[in-house]
Amino acid sequence: MSLLIAMFSFSLAMSISPGPVNMVIVSSGASYGVRKTFSFVSGGTIGFTSLLLFIGLGFYKIIVQYPLLLKYLAISGSLFIVYMGYLIASSKPELDIKEQKLPTFMQGFLLQWLNPKAWIASVAGVSLFSVPNNNQVFLTFSLIYFLVCYLSLFSWSVLGDKVTILLNSQLRLKLFNQLMGGLLIVTACFLLYSQFN
């Protein structure tokens, strides 16, 4: 039972804490609402879970042998996060923006695979909740993480949707989008900076 609590606690701490995916979800929830953000939430959850399974079921051995791989991933992931930040910061300050500007399932999926935070969480989770020659513990952890991640990301979309009460003018929404996009870009720049120090 204590192992399940530890799995749940780790999953919740990593999923609910602010990061690039959560920032996009809040911004999307504020601009489009919970229903239209659900596709991105699903992409983010499924993307993370598939990354966790990919690492836990074999790729972890390659990461241990080639630690520079994580550095290159962090660089390319940071550049993708800058791109997502630009899209958010430059989006139109209207609540009825065209559908093609919505964050998509595929963007949520890819953002997790390019998100250094997701890789660190996956590697840490694999190292904590894996048993040699037995995948049952790891697969239980992956299922718990999937459920917790879905609920956590969904809660960020609800938060974004509720913040629209404060964002009832185009100017406020524009400033909010610029703030969220700017935070994503700053996060990406910090991640890039940390790779060279």
pLDDT in tens, 68-78: 877 777 777 77
Least confident of 58-62, 99-103, 151-155: 99-103
Query: CA-to-CA distance for 112 and 135, rounded, in angstroms?
Result: 23
Q: What is the 3-state secondary structure (H, E, C) of the chain?
A: CHHHHHHHHHHHHHHHCCCHHHHHHHHHHHHHCHHHHHHHHHHHHHHHHHHHHHHHHHHHHHHHHCCHHHHHHHHHHHHHHHHHHHHHHCCCCCCCCCHHHCCCHHHHHHHHHCCHHHHHHHHHHHHHCCECCECHHHHHHHHHHHHHHHHHHHHHHHHHHHHHHCCCCHHHHHHHHHHHHHHHHHHHHHHHHHHCC
Label residue 48 by pLDDT band (50, 70, 90). very high
What mean pLDDT is predicted for residues 98-121?
A: 82
Q: What is the pTM of this model?
A: 0.78
pLDDT in tens, 143-155: 999 999 999 999 9
Query: CA-to-CA distance for 101 and 52, rounded, in angstroms?
Result: 28
Mean pLDDT of all residues belonging to the chain: 83
- Whether residue 138 contacts residue 126, with contact meaning beta carbons closer than 8 Å, is answered with yes
Per-domain boundaries in the chain: 2-8+20-195
